[in-house]
Chains A and B, each alone.
Chain A
Amino acid sequence: MRIASRVRFLVCGAVLLALLWGGSYLSAGALPSALSWPRAPSTAAAGASPNPGFPPTVPFVPTRPPVPPQPVPFPHVAMVSRGVPCLFCHSGATRSPTAGIPSVYLCMGCHLVIGRDSPLIRQVRTYWEAQQPIPWVRIYRLPGFVQFSHRPHLAAGLNCEACHGDVGQMEVTVPYPAYKQMGWCLECHEHQPNPLPLTECQICHY
């Protein structure tokens, strides 16, 4: 049975190699870490993403989320080009998780006087006279298990365009294509000077 003898040789060789490799690995001081508590990835190596380079990450595929029909087609470009800062309407961004949508009272603060005759502002005024809130349709709608907060991002020095795209030039506000993909958030969180705390799960999911 020449085959059997050859197979026997192969099997013994493989086992011998395994022992040699394992021994060298253990003797090379890997024993303490090998026997240490099997930590979750985020602490495997400081400053590394959850699985340092091991999972071949696929670049996120930005999809084109649909643009919802708004009750009043609000052109950001008209306001921003006239020098209105983002925080004027979305004032919550620096002190609350949600940036907030301006109240009809805030709109009418200016538009009772400015541009009374333009059709869009006339539409807004009808809501004001009826004392009814404007039923805006939500563009950015993160799933319930993501606790996103604007405040630390602005505290870290980011401005709105970093995530929302250049809304100032938009006639119709379109959501940033990849806002629903975790990879996009990790892109920044990983490349901070000290990524360890920012790549832990409790930053967004709790």
Chain B
Amino acid sequence: MSDSDIRAPQQRPSLGEMGLDQQAQLERERHLLVDARPGRELNAMVLEPMMRIGRAFWPAVGVLGFLVLTWWVTWGFQMWWNVGITGLNRVVMWSLYIANYVYLIGIAEAGTFIAAALRLLDIDWRRPISRIAELLTVFCIFASALFPLAHLGRTWKFYWLLPYPNERQLWPNFHSALIWDLTATLSYLATSTLFFYIDLIPDAALARDHVHGWRRTLNSWLALGWRGTERQWRLLKVAQLIFSIGILLIMPSVHTVVSYDFAMTIQPGWHSTVFGPYFVAGAIYSGVAAIIIAAILFQRLNHWSYFIRDEHLNGLGIFLLLTSLVWDYFFFQDFIVPWYGQVPTEKQVLLTMMAGHGQLAFWLMITANAIIPFFTLWWRRVRTSWPAMLAISILIQLGLLLERYIIVTIDLGVRELPFNWGLYQPRAAELIMSTGAVAFIVLGFVVFSKLIPFVVLYEVKEGQFLVQLKRIGKGLIRSKME
């Protein structure tokens, strides 16, 4: 049954009329887990892009490396020339650094959260993309963890935030939300990195066995002598389960704690009780969008149309739509309560956002986060077409960064005593550091894609083993063995 016989989908007979083999062919086309390929072929398909250094690799590393370098140089310059080079003023003393921190740690949390949640719910379309999600977390966490340090006035005294024993009997102030941020970020950094590493071990072993040169030594180190024995697999399964549950618990706590930086103050526009879940929803929303971007890029660049198919994009698209609606709900909460309360300063916050200094950012955010996803993601055709999903996801990233920017700088600009309202314009230093952070994440992906396999092969193989086509009456269905 060669491929050419299959007519264009619109002339294709309905399922009822098709023969069994035609149905099987259709199922294999649509679903990865049904379209099993021999192991060696799968290994080659994953390891071959890892080995090949394409034409565009070095220029990409060069450009991204330059951006990351400008980030570090700007930070050094700011430490020498003091915080005056930023656009901060006496009223708005937090800006893009904190907005970037919240935005990047938001993406980071969603990465592992999605990998962990989908694993526990045993949803099959997670299998090829879970490594992309976990790696996204690792890089975003490192990038975001550096921003609270960059915004310190005296960065060289950051160690005073850590509870180290000292002879001056001074301990950090555990009443402060910044210390909670510190603990939350560090704990999440540890758990998500370990979670990523545990998933990596079998694949590293696979790479160790099929690759030569320095990557072999690297992956052999990473594989920690993994032999694939039954006891090792059982221990790995238990470890993955524990970490998945751990991540499910830690993720909401981390981003709620990050939102407490704002919710715990008495600043109009910040002290609202909905900030906890609102920030968690925003985090997952931006995380899913980031995973979609990464998945599409890998599908296109590594020609992995076999691994990442329409069903995965469709699954992610539905999840994106779901998180979009949840975010809309929480944003509406955060918006309607001040409007209805008519407290003068909080009404002024809304006025500044909608019609004042921040209106451009506000309406761009609303269209990017709420309007466009709502009117596009309902259709399967949109969800499965990669250019549309790429565009929507990038817009959502921009929208959510703007949302954090608005919350930090516009809300902070409206104070109780009207003499002290403030406007904020970002300056070069902050923009360079923002682009530098994003470049750091992309650079991480580009470099790591040449070091370790980017598809969790053993999960894909396990999925393909478990899912069989079963014949019931005239139809074929995919059934999954327990």
A residues with a Cβ closer than 8 A to B are: 3-4, 7, 11, 38, 40-41, 49-51, 54-61, 181-183, 186
Judge whether B173 and A55 touch: CB under 8 Å. Answer: no
- Taken together as a complex, chains A and B put the C-alpha atoms of A20 and B461 apart, in Å, by 46
Q: Determine whether the beta carbon of B165 is less than 8 Å from that of A55.
A: yes
Shortest Cβ distance from B174 into A: residue? A38
Give the CA-CA distance A170 to B173 in the complex, in Å: 43
Taking a contact as CB atoms under 8 Å apart, the answer to whether A181 and B170 are in contact is: no
Across the A-B interface, how many residue pairs have beta carbons closer than 8 Å? Answer: 46
**What are 13 A-B pairs at a CB distance below 8 A?**
A3-B238, A4-B241, A7-B241, A7-B245, A11-B245, A38-B175, A50-B171, A55-B166, A55-B170, A56-B165, A57-B165, A186-B168, A186-B169
Residues of the B chain whose Cβ atoms lie less than 8 Å from the Cβ of A50: 169-171
From the candidates B163, B237, B238, name the one contacting A55 in the complex (CB within 8 A).
Answer: B163
Distance (whole angstroms) from the CB of B161 to the closest CB of chain A: 14
Do A54 and B245 touch (CB < 8 A)? no
Rounded to whole angstroms, the CA-CA distance of A105 and B129 in the bound complex is: 86
Cross-interface CB contact of A51 among B169, B175, B242, cutoff 8 Å:
B169
Query: Which residues from 152 to 167 on chain B have a C-beta closer than 8 Å to any C-beta of chain A?
Result: 163, 165-167
Dominant SS at the B interface? loop
Q: What is the bound-complex CA distance between A61 and B165, given in angstroms?
A: 13
Q: Are B167 and A58 in contact (CB under 8 A)?
A: yes
Q: Tell me the minimal C-beta distance from A184 to chain B in angstroms.
A: 8
User: Quick one: which of B34-76 are within 8 Å of A by CB?
Assistant: none
Report B-chain residues with C-beta under 8 Å of the C-beta of A55. 163, 165-166, 169-171
Closest to B170 in A: A50
- In the assembled complex, the CB of B230 is this many whole angstroms from the nearest CB of chain A, namely 14
Closest 8 CB pairs of A and B: A183-B167, A38-B175, A60-B167, A55-B171, A182-B168, A56-B165, A51-B171, A58-B165
The majority secondary structure among interface residues of chain A is loop
Cross-chain contact A59 with B242 (CB below 8 angstroms): no
Which residue of chain A has the shortest Cβ distance to B172 in the bound complex? A55
Contacts of B163 in A (CB 8 A): 55
**Minimum C-beta distance from B119 to chain A (A):** 12
Chain B 213-268 residues near chain A, CB threshold 8 A: 237-238, 241-242, 245
Taking a contact as CB atoms under 8 Å apart, the answer to whether B169 and A57 are in contact is yes
Q: Please, which residues of chain A bring their CB within 8 A of the CB of B175?
A: 38
Residues of A within 8 A of B242 (CB): 7
In the complex the two chains form, what is the Cα distance from A56 to B165 in whole Å? Answer: 5
Contact present for B166 and A58 (CB under 8 Å): yes
By a CB distance below 8 angstroms, the chain B residues around A183 are 167-169
- Interchain nearest-CB distance for B286 vs A (Å): 28
Q: Report how far A38 CA is from B169 CA in the complex, Å.
A: 19
Contacts of B171 in A (CB 8 A): 41, 50-51, 54-55
Q: Closest residue of chain B to A201, judged by CB?
A: B170
Minimum CB–CB distance for B170 against chain A, Å: 6
Q: Please, how many angstroms separate the alpha-carbon atoms of A59 and B173 in the complex? A: 21
Q: Report the separation of the CA atoms of residues A183 and B166 in the bound assembly, to the nearest whole angstrom.
A: 9
Distance in Å: Cβ of B385 to nearest Cβ of chain A: 39
Report whether B238 and A59 are in contact in the complex, using a CB–CB cutoff of 8 Å: no
Q: Which residues of A contact B169 (CB under 8 A)?
A: 49-51, 55, 57, 183, 186
Interface residues of B in 161-198 (CB under 8 A from A): 163, 165-171, 173, 175
Q: In whole angstroms, how far apart are the Cα atoms of A11 and B246 in the complex?
A: 10
The one of B167, B173, B237, B238 in contact with A57, judged by C-beta atoms closer than 8 angstroms, is B167
Contacts of A182 in B (CB 8 A): 167-168
B249 and chain A: residue at smallest CB distance: A11
Closest approach, in angstroms, between the C-beta of A142 and any C-beta of chain B? Answer: 14
Given contacts A7-B245, A40-B173, is CB(A181)–CB(B167) below 8 Å? yes
Separation of A14 and B211 alpha carbons in the complex (Å)? 45
Chain B's closest residue to A181 (CB) is B167
A59 to B242, CA, bound (A): 41
Instruction: Give the distance to chain B from A182, nearest Cβ to Cβ, in Å.
Output: 4
Q: Which residue of B lies closest to A53 (CB)?
A: B169
Select from chain B the residue with minimum beta-carbon distance to A39: B175
Question: Chain B residues with Cβ under 8 A from A51's Cβ?
Answer: 169-171
Report the minimal beta-carbon distance from A2 to chain B, rounded to whole angstroms.
10
Chain B residues whose CB sits within 8 angstroms of the CB of A59 once the complex forms? 167
Docked complex Cα distance between A84 and B245 (Å): 77
B165 to chain A, nearest CB (A): 4
Complex Cα spacing A130 to B427, Å: 59
What is the distance, in angstroms, from B462's C-beta to the closest C-beta of chain A?
15
A38 to B179, CA, bound (A): 14
Q: How far is the CA of A182 from the CA of B166 in the complex (A)?
A: 10
Nearest CB on A from B441, distance (A): 33
Q: For residue A51, which residue of chain B has the nearest CB?
A: B171
Q: Which residues of B contact A186 (CB under 8 A)?
A: 168-169
Report the minimum CB–CB distance from A38 to chain B (whole Å): 4
Find residues 263-311 in chain B having any chain A CB closer than 8 Å to their own CB: none
| 10 further contact pairs, Cβ within 8 A, besides A60-B167, A181-B168 | A7-B245, A55-B163, A55-B170, A57-B165, A57-B166, A57-B167, A58-B165, A59-B167, A181-B167, A183-B167
Chain B residues in 8 Å Cβ range of A61: 167
Which residues of the other chain, A, contact B165 by a CB distance below 8 angstroms?
55-58
B167 CB contacts on chain A under 8 angstroms:
57-61, 181-183
CA distance A127 to B148 in the complex (A): 56
Q: Is the CB of A3 within 8 A of B168?
A: no
CA gap between A54 and B238 in the complex, in Å: 37
Taking the closest CB of chain B, its distance from the CB of A48, in whole angstroms, is 10
Contacts of B241 in A (CB 8 A): 3-4, 7
B322 to chain A, nearest CB (A): 26
What separation, in Å, do the CA atoms of A107 and B169 have in the docked complex? 43
B244 to chain A, nearest CB (A): 10
CB distance from B251 to the nearest CB of A (A): 16
B44 to chain A: closest CB distance in Å?
34
